[in-house]
Chains A and B, each alone.
Chain A
Amino acid sequence: MIEIKDLTVRFGGVTPIDGMSVTFPGGTCGLIGPNGAGKTTFFNVMSGFVKPASGTVTAFGENLLKMADFRRARWGLRRTFQTEMAIEKLSIFENVAMIHEHSGAKRSSRRADVEAAVEFVGLTAPSRARVGSLGARERRLVEVARAVVGKPRIVLLDEPAAGLPDEETEHLSQVIQKIPGQFDALVILVDHDMSLVSACCATTAVIDFGKLIASGSTADILRNEHVMRAYLGTETEL
Chain B
Amino acid sequence: MSTPTPAVSSARAAAVKAVSSLERKTLVQLLTSGGLLLLALLAVPSLVGSDWIFTFTSVAIYSVVALGFDVLYGRVGLISMGQVALLSVGCWIGARLAYATSMPFPILLVVTGLITAGVGLLVGLPALRLSGLYLALITLILAGATSIVLGQTDFPSGGGGFLGRFPAGALTTETPPVRRPSWGNADTNFYRYTLVVVALMFLLTLVHVAGKPGRAWAAIRESEPAALSAGVNITLYKMWAFGLASFMTGVAGCLLAAEIGTPRATTFQTLDSLTLAATALIGGIFTLWGALVAGAFNQLLPFLFQAQWSVNPNFLLVVFGAGLLQVLLTAPGGLAEQFPKDMANLGRLIARKVPVTRQALFGIGSILALFLGIVLLITAPPLVGVIVVMLSPILCVFALD
Using a CB–CB cutoff of 8 Å, the interface residues on chain A facing chain B are 47-49, 69-74, 77-79, 81, 85, 87-90, 94, 97-99, 101-103, 128, 146
Contacts and interface: CB of A to CB of B under 8 A. Distances in A.
The 5 A-B pairs of least Cβ separation, nearest first, read A73-B231, A102-B231, A85-B226, A98-B215, A87-B222
A147 to B, nearest CB: 10
A102 B236 CA distance: 13
7 contacts: A70-B231, A70-B234, A90-B215, A98-B219, A101-B212, A102-B216, A102-B230
With most chain B CB atoms within 10 A of its CB, the pick from A69, A74, A88, A98 is A98
Given A88-B222, A89-B218, A90-B215, A99 B228 contact: no
A49 B225 contact: yes
Contacts, number: 63
Given A81-B226, A85-B222, A128-B23, A97 B215 contact: yes
Contact of A72 (B218, B221, B231, B286): B231
Given A73-B230, A87-B215, 13 more contacts: A48-B228, A70-B228, A70-B232, A70-B233, A71-B231, A72-B229, A73-B229, A87-B222, A88-B222, A98-B216, A99-B231, A102-B216, A103-B231
A211 to B, nearest CB: 25
Contacts of A69: 228-229
Contacts of A90: 215, 218
Nearest to B23: A128
A74 B223 contact: no
Contact of B215 (A73, A101, A103): A101
Nearest to B236: A70
Interface string B222-246: 1101101111111000000000000
A65 B236 CA distance: 21
Interface of B: 23, 212, 215-216, 218-219, 221-223, 225-226, 228-234, 286
A99 B23 CA distance: 23
A101 B211 CA distance: 10
B218 A87 contact: yes
A79 B222 contact: no
B194 to A, nearest CB: 31
Nearest to B75: A89
Nearest to A83: B223
A151 B14 CA distance: 32
A48 to B, nearest CB: 7
Contacts of B234: 70
Contacts of B286: 89
A81 B225 contact: yes
With most chain B CB atoms within 10 A of its CB, the pick from A71, A74, A87 is A87
B76 to A, nearest CB: 12
Nearest to A44: B225
Nearest to B211: A101
A87 B222 CA distance: 6
A81 B225 CA distance: 9
Contacts of B212: 98, 101
B163 to A, nearest CB: 41
Contacts of A102: 216, 230-233
A78 to B, nearest CB: 8
A146 B230 contact: yes
Contacts of B216: 98, 101-102
Nearest to B225: A49
B135 to A, nearest CB: 21
A229 to B, nearest CB: 33
A49 B234 CA distance: 13
Contacts of A70: 228, 231-234
Contacts of B221: 89
Contacts of B233: 70, 102
Contacts of B223: 81, 85
Given A85-B223, A90-B218, A128-B23, A98 B229 contact: no
Contacts of B230: 73, 98-99, 102, 146
Contacts of A73: 229-231
Contacts of B226: 81, 85
A85 B229 CA distance: 11
A91 to B, nearest CB: 10
A90 B228 CA distance: 17
Nearest to A68: B233
A88 B226 CA distance: 13
Contacts of B228: 47-49, 69-70
A69 B154 CA distance: 48
A89 B223 CA distance: 12
B218 A47 contact: no
Nearest to A88: B222
Contacts of A101: 212, 215-216
With most chain A CB atoms within 10 A of its CB, the pick from B212, B215, B230, B234 is B230
Nearest to B21: A128
A41 to B, nearest CB: 13
A177 B286 CA distance: 39
Contacts of A72: 229, 231
Nearest to A94: B215
A94 to B, nearest CB: 5
Contacts of A85: 222-223, 226
A48 B233 CA distance: 13
A213 to B, nearest CB: 27
B219 A87 contact: yes
Contacts of A89: 218, 221-222, 286
Given A94-B215, A101-B212, A77 B229 contact: yes
A82 B273 CA distance: 39
A112 to B, nearest CB: 16
Contacts of A49: 225, 228
